[in-house]
Amino acid sequence: MGAYPASVSTFTVVGRLHIDEGDGIDVGADPDVNPQEGVSVTFTPQLNPKRIRVPGFGLVDIAPVAAVTDADGYVKTLGGEDVVLAYGGDPDITPTGWTWLVSIEATSVVPEDEFSIAGSAGGTVDLSEFASVSPADPGAEVVAWVSARDAAIAAKDDAEAAKAAAEAAQAAAEAVPTSNDGIVAGLVADSGSSTRGALDAAYVGRAQLDRVPAVKRGVVPSEVARVMSTPPTVGALSATSAIGSGIGAAFNGRVEGVSSSALNRSRFNFYAGKITSLGTGFPDYQFAKARYLTDPSAGNGGPGAVEFLYDGASFEFVSKGAGQKVLIVVDGEYVSKTPTTFTIDGSTYYLPVTFATAKPRKIRIEFLDQVILGFVRFEATATLTAPRTSAPFMMIAGDSFSEGVGGGYSNVPWWRTFADALGIPNVWSASLGGTGWLKTGPSGRATIRGRMATDVYPYAPDILVLAAGINDASVPYSEAAIKTEVLATIADVRENLPNTLLVVVDTFASGGVEKNVSLIPIHKGIKAACTEASVPFLSVFELPMLGVPFSTTLAANANAGATSISLAAPVAQQTTLDLGTERRVVTALSGSGPYTATVTALTYAHASGDPVSVVGGSLWTGTGRVGATTGVGNSDRLVASDNTHPTQVASDLIGLHLADQFVDLSLSA
């Protein structure tokens, strides 16, 4: 059998699994604790694609490694050998800095467990130090990683280093007036294209970051929440209940604002705010609506969710017909990503959900546009309770890209995928279409900063994510104006939410860089403000680029409409170039100096000697859209038929990319 060359480091995985079966038929009253045999353990490289390059050896496709516990409970390969894995931090392989996902199948008493391990060159990893044992002790954190440039680095726990980082972060934050000096999320800027760095433990931002489950493990999932392969049956809306002798558990119980009865938090977790009864008369007092989002132009509302644990075979979601759109999630998987839409007639409706068998499940009912609460009617002998979570509470404030179904395009918005990937169930979106940093949008709506006092500050989220910009390009506003407003918003948030981790997301786009010239000053203004104020900055408009920044100059004049430019130095194909007022992707390169780069037609003229910088590329490529494809670029799949908003594919990708960057905030620059 072949093996890796000596230049590739490996590490060994050990572990042992027992089961406490209680006292059996034996002498004494002590519980019988015996090895668990036959439990499957799978090790999957967290790479996409699952392929590495080994110099002098070639390409290696890495398949998942299957293991099982033997008669003594030890984790062994199917051949009975020790589990030996390639070390993802080896500097001699490409890519480097990746980890292994460990999946331990469900046992008779514990559900399936997944976590990540990093290992070390020639070292040993004991799975007992990583596997989850309780919400309070989720297992050891995975080693922090950086890219091929730096390989793996140790977490900064040295007191002097932490003090120096805190002082640097405070100095950077002084550019923005704030009433909570020294209580801000400090960042150390990276030389790449995105603002990244270590949030120091001395700051509240670091405290909130460390509560995020995905940050604890150091990785995010490589795929979005899937649609169930064997979903329950979701029946048609009915005016009558099929669970004749069932028990009704009220969501609202005549909730806050109408009477003194509280939300039924022993039965449900509520992921929405300002929940008040629809009215005082029957049947309106039985139903409630979330009104945390101030939108006089369309009626106050807001998306949200309710979550509960249930062990029966069937239940019914009961609500009042008001046009609300509902998705059902079971144990982290969607029953369908096509919502059930309630009829707008004010009648009471029952939505039946039936499983093949009864067993414990976590159920989440997602309201895509407005939360209308009522009851869950369930089997008389079943149990319905609220799940517990220690994850932080997060709010998103943005434009129509963050409304999700409010924009009429992707049913599962990017922020839901983002939150799920981070392990944060309690997320609200205070987002309104047409708005921006400076753009107020339709009548009655306000800018991001303009609606903080009504839609965000009263709820004091642990994490606040601001995501806007695309609507500001329609005016258009200058880079300086956007930077000034973003800085003002940051200062306002810091003054009003001193214990909140603030994160800013770059503008979204509706196609490749050649289609979004007007977004360049918006992007640069947002990024410059975040850098100056030392605020975490996430972007899919300009994806993170590792390594030393590279720049050159134009070797000749380039006219507007030109499809090629002359460069003083060569660049790689598919590189994104910043020409100051616009960006272009190099599709071909020729010559031996100066070099001719083929690009799509330029919008502006550029002079010989003008600077040209290599920057991170955009998530979107090409100029197509659904219904008007070009066959070139992923915009054919990512841009909806309205030529602006994201498809479901795009929303899923945005959520995963931003979650990955969020976890990267915990790494040192």
Q: Are 88 and 99 in contact (CB under 8 A)?
A: yes
Give the residue with greater pLDDT, 514 vs 183.
Answer: 514
Q: Residue 186: its pLDDT value, please?
A: 23
pLDDT at 28: 57
pLDDT of res. 245? 64
Report d(CA 565, CA 316) in Å as an integer.
63
What is the reported pLDDT for 346? 87
Task: Write out the two tokens for 389.
Answer: 């979570």
Q: What is the 3-state secondary structure (H, E, C) of 459-521?
A: HCCCEEEEECCCCHHHCCCCHHHHHHHHHHHHHHHHHHCCCCEEEEECCCCCCCHHHCHHHHH
Per-residue pLDDT, 580: 92
| Mean pLDDT confidence for 533-553 | 89
In this prediction, residue 136 has a pLDDT band, given cuts at 50, 70 and 90, of very low
- Tokens encoding 247: 């028990």
Task: State how far the Cα of 616 lies from the Cα of 576, in Å rounded to an integer.
Answer: 6
What does the alpha-carbon distance between residue 451 and residue 444 come to, in Å, rounded to a whole number? 11
Quote the CA–CA distance of 278 and 280 in Å, as a whole number. 7
**What per-residue confidence (pLDDT) applies to 35?**
87
Q: Which two tokens stand for residue 292?
A: 């945390």
pLDDT (tens digit per residue) in 470-503: 999 988 899 999 999 999 999 999 999 998 999 9
At 312 the pLDDT is 92
Distance of CA 488 to the CA centre of its chain: 26
- Does the pLDDT of residue 438 top 90, yes or no? yes
Residues in the chain: 669
Kindly report, residue by residue over 39-71, the tens digit of the pLDDT.
Answer: 889 999 888 788 888 888 888 989 889 999 888
Q: 134 pLDDT band (50/70/90 cuts)?
A: very low
**302 three-class SS:** strand
pLDDT of residue 162: 45
pLDDT tens, residue by residue, 635-663 = 999 999 989 999 988 998 999 999 988 88
530 burial level (CB within 10 Å; 0-12, 13-18, 19+):
buried
Question: Region 451-463: what's the mean pLDDT?
Answer: 92
> Which H helix or E strand runs over 205?
helix 204-209
Which of the 8 DSSP states describes residue 283?
Answer: T
Q: Which two tokens stand for residue 190?
A: 């990276």
pLDDT at 326: 92
Closest Cα to residue 151, out of 128, 118, 179, 106? 118
Residues 6+ positions from 583 with CB-CB distance below 8 Å:
513, 514, 517, 520, 576, 577, 615
CB 50 within 8 A of CB 62: yes
8 Å CB contact between 364 and 332 = no
Contact yes or no for 72/14 (Cβ under 8 A): no
Q: Yes or no: say if 100 and 142 are a contact pair by the CB < 8 Å rule.
A: no
Task: Give the pLDDT confidence of 158-203 residue by residue, as tens digits.
Answer: 434 444 444 444 444 333 333 222 222 222 222 233 333 334 333 4
Output the DSSP codes for 217-249: HT---SSPPPBPSSPPEE---BSS-S-TT-EEE
Distances (CA, A) of 285 to 240, 269, 278, 293: 19, 20, 6, 21
- Residue 174 confidence (pLDDT): 39
CA gap 448, 414 in Å, rounded: 18
Cβ(284)–Cβ(294) under 8 Å?
no
Phi, psi for residue 502 in degrees, rounded to 5? -100, 130
- Please, which contacts does 110-118 make with residues 24 or more away whose CB atoms are closer than 8 Å? 115/139, 115/142, 115/217, 116/46, 116/142, 116/217, 116/218, 116/219, 117/13, 117/142, 118/88, 118/89, 118/142, 118/143, 118/145, 118/152, 118/218
Q: Of the candidates 21, 7, 95, 2, which has an alpha carbon nearest to the alpha carbon of residue 51?
A: 95
- The whole-number pLDDT of residue 148 equals 30
Highest mean pLDDT among 114-118, 455-459, 481-485: 481-485
DSSP annotation of 541 reads S
For residue 650, the surrounding DSSP H or E stretch is helix 648-664
